Amino acid sequence: MPTAILNDYLRRAIERKDYQAVRQFLEEFQAVDLAELLQTVPVDAARELLMYLPVVQRASVFGHLPVDWQSQLTTAMTDKEVSQLLRHLDADEGADLLHVLPENRHDRVLRKIAHAEREALRRLASYEEGTAGAIMTSDYMTVPAEITVGEALDVIRKSAPSAELIYQIYTVDAQYRLIGTLSLRELIMNKPEARIKDVMTTDMVKTKLSAKQEDAAKLISRYDLLSLPVVDDDERLVGIITYDDAMDVAEAEATEDMHKGATIGPLAGNFRDARLFTLYRKRIVWLLLLVFGNLVSGAGIAYYEDTIAAYVVLVFFLPLLIDSGGNAGSQAATLVVRSMATGDIAISDWGKLLLKEVAVASGLGLTMAAAVSLIGAYRGGFDIAWVVALSMICIVMTGSLVGLCLPFILNRLGWDPATASAPLVTTIADASGVLIYFWIANWILHLPAP
């Protein structure tokens, strides 16, 4: 329990102003753990602890803090302290910090940084949220194609301290267009006198500045890359995305898709620290929309009011039948949405999958009809059993096909297929379920049409 340790040992060290002990204590933690620990104490104390660390570690810990903590901490720091942080953060984290600072501090803080670094930060901070540009870093390593492997290793040795990742090296031409890449492993394994241009790979995976961040992350995962070069429209190298950032993006995207699948809007931070009103706002939109969607089910029920009045026993099976359609549909939608997100299925697979879903849903519907017809016979006799079983098959089929098709339709309309959430599919399946059920009941029980 970090808080307990902190409250005890650390507080006493701070009280007796034993900087040495405090620093030693803090240095035992990995940056990400220390960032977590800092979030358990008040902001002022966190700022004080941070200041005990040497500036390189301080920047490393700071980079792991969530945006709102960064914002609060910088408010209490001087311009000089902030610009010091900016200089030591990885370039992509520095650009994120710029987003956090209030407008009027921007220039004051940036003025204290060397020109080249300042421009790189400004540029990085200017790319649109969610694009490859917004998550790339400018701390990568290039070597000229004409030098030898031995010379390249010297270059790397010299610039390693400032680069975020030195295991993949790039070569560019005079216009800074990306022309080749090679890994440090290949460098080490080649003879020192070999020329870079003879040992580099020219056919490499890369991405555009404006590509979606999740697509960039998918390339890194698919090709097992350590870093992915990002080029502008003129094929000029402008940055790299590192594997660790790709992992974070993939995790965030999976979270966003899961939340969408339960009709929750995208949360910027994590659930534990989200504010009450944010949670309310992210949840109420779809809940209200679905209330109105459910009115269709209500209207269907109202339309068949006489049928219900004649056979109140039918209401017993209503939740069971419509929920079954919704559940089968949610399954199909989830399978499709996730497979689309991981790239396992393409839009063109839709016909094949539809046929398959018809077969699977028939099996599911038949099994569930058999189960439910026994209860139907027990509660309402043979006719009711027949109504319930037939309805089950039709409702499960309909629900499954809605679940399967909806993500494809949404995608076609240019929307995110993940919008085909379980609750949305359930609401559609419910409305059609009500109509199917009572229509079949009317027909089999020989009731007059309403």
Residue type, position 60, single letter: S
Cα 55 to Cα 429: distance, rounded to the nearest angstrom: 58
Judged by DSSP in three states, 312 sits in: coil
When the beta carbons of 22 and 361 are compared against its own copies, the nearer one is: 361
Q: Shortest CA distance to 264 belongs to which of 285, 293, 290, 250?
A: 285
When the beta carbons of 161 and 414 are compared against its own copies, the nearer one is: 161
When the beta carbons of 28 and 234 are compared against its own copies, the nearer one is: 28
Please, what is the minimum distance in Å from the beta carbon of residue 352 to its own copies? Answer: 8
DSSP state of 10: I
When the beta carbons of 73 and 434 are compared against its own copies, the nearer one is: 434
The β-bridge partners of 230 are 207, 239
Residue pair 300/438 in contact (Cβ under 8 Å)? The answer is yes
Cα 157 to Cα 155: distance, rounded to the nearest angstrom: 5
Residue pair 438/391 in contact (Cβ under 8 Å)? The answer is no
Please, what is the minimum distance in Å from the beta carbon of residue 119 to its own copies? Answer: 26
Give counts: helices (H), strands (E), the chain.
22, 5
Residue pair 173/179 in contact (Cβ under 8 Å)? The answer is yes
Please, what is the minimum distance in Å from the beta carbon of residue 139 to its own copies? Answer: 13
Please, what is the minimum distance in Å from the beta carbon of residue 122 to its own copies? Answer: 26
Residue type, position 287, single letter: L
Residue type, position 388, single letter: V
Please, what is the minimum distance in Å from the beta carbon of residue 210 to its own copies? Answer: 23
Please, what is the minimum distance in Å from the beta carbon of residue 36 to its own copies? Answer: 10
Q: Helices marked H in 111-212 — which ranges?
A: 115-125, 132-135, 149-159, 184-189, 196-199
Query: What are the structure tokens assigned to 100, written together?
Result: 């956090």
When the beta carbons of 82 and 216 are compared against its own copies, the nearer one is: 216
Please, what is the minimum distance in Å from the beta carbon of residue 135 to its own copies? Answer: 14
When the beta carbons of 86 and 332 are compared against its own copies, the nearer one is: 332
